[in-house]
Amino acid sequence: MALEPRRPDWPALVGLASANGLLVSIYPALEEHGLCARVPDDALAALREFHAQARLRRTEAARQIERVSGAMNAAGIEPLWLKGAALIVEGSPWADRRWMSDVDLWVARDRIEPAREALLALGYRHDPRYPDPAPHHLRPVFHPDEPFAVELHHALTPPVAAGIMPVDRVLGAARRVQWRSTRVLVPAARDQAVHIASQARPFARAYLRGRVKARRVVEFAQIAAAIGAEEAVDALRGACRDNGQREFAEEFLALCGGLCGLPGDFDPRAAMAGFAWKANFPLPHTLYAGFRSVARPGIGRYARHPLAFAKKVVEHLRLEGGQPW
């Protein structure tokens, strides 16, 4: 007698999805593939509610983005909206499948102070629980009547990853959009895909020790489905090649192929072997990655520029200490 397939453990699946920031994506995926009838009624109702909440938050986020954009325009600034906010401005259906806790915008470094003052004039304030800025954005600010924090960026990525998202390239390809009576910029689709992948933090401690958030893999695959897998893959490979991160690109893309069915000439076995090596031998790999990072420009360059060498060493020690970027 044939054995009945094991039934899914829905509480475990929901817990796993929640831990990876994918909870709001389950219901539309079930509906899209005609699988709702296979889900217990109580679980399906909960998943439907989670997705409904995400759609409501997207509507709230759109209003907040509109108000912030208007304030920026009044200060003579056209903000470049990033990540989830960019998807909302574009009206992308994938915005409904992305849980958001903040909205991110970039302005030129020489316009940071007017942009910050515009946010303060709207009533945004710092929260003492979030005291420190990051290397690429100011401290997040919060408004008592708005649902999301706002992160004001003066760089697209931390300095160690600047080569993946160079500002000149991103701005040169960005689209100027007249949106809800405001003037804003959104990155080109290729750059949005690269930016999402860069959130897997190819330079940070987690990746160097064999860990990548599944959410980033899924989000990249979603954007690739919208713009074409070949274009998204080419964009990430090119950006990582230019920044000396070929290994990260191939491992990340292999995860997309294995987990999300992203078509392409990937090598999942080699990628998994790479992740296993990092996870099983974290310290040797971290030291190896640090040596590669220091050696990439050439030892002779650092002999001529000892301060640059010291800076590289400090950056690596920060990563090894687990500081986020």
**Of the candidates 257, 288, 90, 60, the residue with the CA atom closest to the CA atom of residue 186:** 90
152 in Cβ contact with 80 (< 8 Å): no
Amino acid at 234: D
Residue predicted with more confidence, 178 or 14: 178
pLDDT digits (tens, 9 = 90+) for 178-207: 999 999 999 999 999 999 998 876 656 666
Q: What's the rounded Cα separation, in Å, for the pair 185 and 178?
A: 9
pLDDT digits (tens, 9 = 90+) for 74-85: 999 999 999 999
DSSP string over 215-277: HHHHHHHHHHHHH-HHHHHHHHHHHHHHTT-HHHHHHHHHHHHHHH---SS--HHHHHHHHHH
Average pLDDT over residues 213-226: 89
127 in Cβ contact with 80 (< 8 Å): no
Per-residue pLDDT band for 311 (boundaries 50, 70, 90) equals low
As a whole-number percent, the residues of the chain with pLDDT over 70 amount to 80
Report how far apart, in Å, the C-alpha atoms of 5 and of each of 2, 63, 104, 248 are: 9, 46, 44, 36
What is the reported pLDDT for 11? 83
What is the reported pLDDT for 4? 45
CA dihedral 192, 195, 197, 200 (to 10 degrees): -150
Query: CB-based burial of residue 269 (10 Å sphere; 0-12 exposed, 13-18 middle, 19+ buried)?
Result: exposed
Q: What's the rounded Cα separation, in Å, for the pair 149 and 161?
A: 24
Quote the tokens at residue 26. Answer: 């389950």
Q: What's the rounded Cα separation, in Å, for the pair 79 and 69?
A: 7
Query: CB-based burial of residue 225 (10 Å sphere; 0-12 exposed, 13-18 middle, 19+ buried)?
Result: middle
Domains and CATH numbers, the chain: 62-187 (3.30.460.40), 189-325 (no CATH)
Q: What's the rounded Cα separation, in Å, for the pair 74 and 298?
A: 47
Quote the tokens at residue 104. Answer: 């991110």
